Chains A and B, each alone.
Chain A
Amino acid sequence: MTTGANGGQQQDSGVTALARDGALAGQWRLDPQQSTVEFRVPHFWHLITVRGWFGRLEGEGLVAADGAVTGRIVIDAASLNTKNKQRDKHLRSADFFHVERHPQAVLTISQAALNPAGQLAGEGTLEAAGSHEPIRFTADVTAASRDSVTLRAEITVDRSRFGMTWSPMRIAAMQATGSVTARFTRAS
């Protein structure tokens, strides 16, 4: 499993200075209104790309005094939307997310820290359809203040690792890419 952020050229969000001052320590909560979890998968033998997103998210984060970051984003699997009702029904079925049995997909950050480039780099797990897979990620910090921090990362997974092997005649690719934009605000 591989991950990559947008590739370097981000502007300094100021997060490094905030972290150095210890201004980010404490509890944070995901702002679902300004956060998105999207996915895309090549379909019809790579003729098109199916794009979708999850409408319902929750999450929280914790920044320790030493700057270590943990957290998680809980995704309501049934809230997926690809703008095609029949496809969405299929994606909710046992061929894919099996939402009746596994209503949530969970992205857990088990350890992460700011790197010298001011990105949040770390590792964790992705749980979906009852399977857990380790992930590594490097998230760009696209905005940062004492009260809110916005992260953006891309994570590419092999969906067959989650038992999602449906692809008659390899019509749909196994490689799925997730784009996460997560805005966290101070938990009061």
Chain B
Amino acid sequence: MPELQRLQAGHAAAVLAFELANRAYFAASISDRGDEFYDQFAQRHGALLAEQKAGLGAFYVLVAADGSVLGRFNLFFAGDGAAKVGYRVAQHVAGRGVATAAVRELCRLAAARHGLRTLRAATAHENVASQKVLAKAGFVPAGPAGPADLGGKRGTWYRRDLPPAEDDQPAASR
């Protein structure tokens, strides 16, 4: 059973392997990261962890039993209990409900662990799979998303309001 784990330094190698193995798939379906992303991966991983430690976001990886990374699911805190959601899932598990289950779990954690009340996600018109994931995870369309939100593409903002959660730990790191 894959597990959603908080991103940490020890995930670096598995996350890079995930990004490299799926580079062409992501480039076609979301956007290409560019060579620099892979060349400077360790430093970027460190910068992301520093921002997480500073309380500006919460980053999760979906880890399989063998330790490989199946997906990344990120919350970027926007203030006032709101966050932007970003995610990407490995090609070899696409279409099996993996992303939907993980986004649902991310929503639960967003409320319970991070005290968030509103999540927003932008997805491109051509990314039908992601729209289905968001709809199944309880998001509803909330307006047009522009090229600045989607790496040059056009699409839709989705939104989900979260019910106040039973805390599973204090909502400290908002």
Contact = CB atoms under 8 A, between A and B. Distances in A.
A188 interface: no
Contacts of B43: 168-169
Contacts of A34: none
B84 interface: yes
B51 A44 contact: yes
Most-contacted residue by chain B among A43, A51, A82, A169 (CB, 10 A): A169
B71 interface: no
Interface stretch (B2-10, B72-80, B100-108): B72-80
A86 B56 contact: yes
B76 A44 contact: yes
Contacts of A90: 54
B50 interface: yes
Given A168-B43, A168-B50, A169-B47, A83 B56 contact: no
Nearest to A42: B148
B55 interface: yes
The range of chain B's interface size is 20 to 34
Contacts of A86: 54-56
A44 B86 CA distance: 11
B84 A169 contact: no
Contacts, number: 43
B116 to A, nearest CB: 13
Nearest to B77: A84
Contacts of A47: 76, 84, 86
Given A90-B54, A168-B50, A48 B40 contact: no
Interface in B45-98: 46-48, 50-51, 54-57, 76-80, 84, 86
Interface footprint category on A: 10 to 19
Contacts of B46: 168-169
B51 A83 contact: no
A87 B54 contact: yes
A90 B55 CA distance: 12
B125 interface: no
A186 to B, nearest CB: 36
B136 interface: no
B57 A44 contact: yes
A48 B78 contact: yes
Given A44-B76, A171-B47, A84 B56 contact: yes
Interface in A65-103: 82-84, 86-87, 90
Contacts of A43: 56, 76
Given A48-B76, A87-B54, A168 B86 contact: no
A168 B47 contact: yes
Contacts of A169: 40, 43-44, 46-47
Given A48-B78, A83-B79, A171 B51 contact: yes
Chain A CB within 10 A, most for which of B46, B55, B79: B79
A186 B109 CA distance: 53
Given A46-B148, A47-B84, A84-B79, 17 more contacts: A43-B56, A44-B51, A47-B76, A47-B86, A48-B76, A48-B84, A51-B79, A82-B79, A83-B80, A84-B77, A84-B174, A86-B56, A87-B55, A90-B54, A169-B43, A169-B47, A171-B47
Interface of B: 40, 43-44, 46-48, 50-51, 54-57, 76-80, 84, 86, 148, 174
